[in-house]
Amino acid sequence: MTEPDWLSRRTPPPPDELATAIREALRARDITTDAPSSMELLETAQSLLQKVLETECAAREAALDLLTADALVTYALEVGNEAPNGLGDFSARALTTLANAGAEGDKTFLDAARGSKC
């Protein structure tokens, strides 16, 4: 992503540490476009939530991942709202995606969620 990237253009901009975490999460999924799609943002948030549930999510270190996932969902909804079909279609898809995270054959995620300390 180049500067100023899409995140730098958000108003208000996120705090520096959160912006860095968002960019790192997107890079980890090879999302380097200047304008990530709402689904790319949502799926990145989902992968962070999965990471937290598979690890010691009660630990303080999980806080930044949780804040990052929250910010990514917020940005996904904002981007989804800008689409021709508007927020209604995307928000329903987003809720389903997050509610069913890992349900499509990812037993590891479900087992981690059941045994998590979250």
Between CA 102 and CA 93 the distance in angstroms is: 15
Name the residue range of residue 34's domain. 16-115
> Does residue 4 form part of some domain?
no
User: Could you read off the pLDDT of 9-50 as tens digits, one per residue?
Assistant: 888 889 999 999 999 999 999 998 788 998 899 999 988 888
> Does residue 35 form part of some domain?
yes
Query: What separation in angstroms does the CA of 33 have from each of 20, 86, 101?
Result: 16, 22, 24
pLDDT at 4 over 50: yes
Tally of structural domains, the chain? 1
> Does residue 6 form part of some domain?
no
Between CA 49 and CA 32 the distance in angstroms is: 20
pTM of the model: 0.76
| 19: its two tokens | 């912006």
> Does residue 11 form part of some domain?
no
Question: Which of 24, 37, 12, 9 is closest to 94 using CA atoms?
Answer: 37
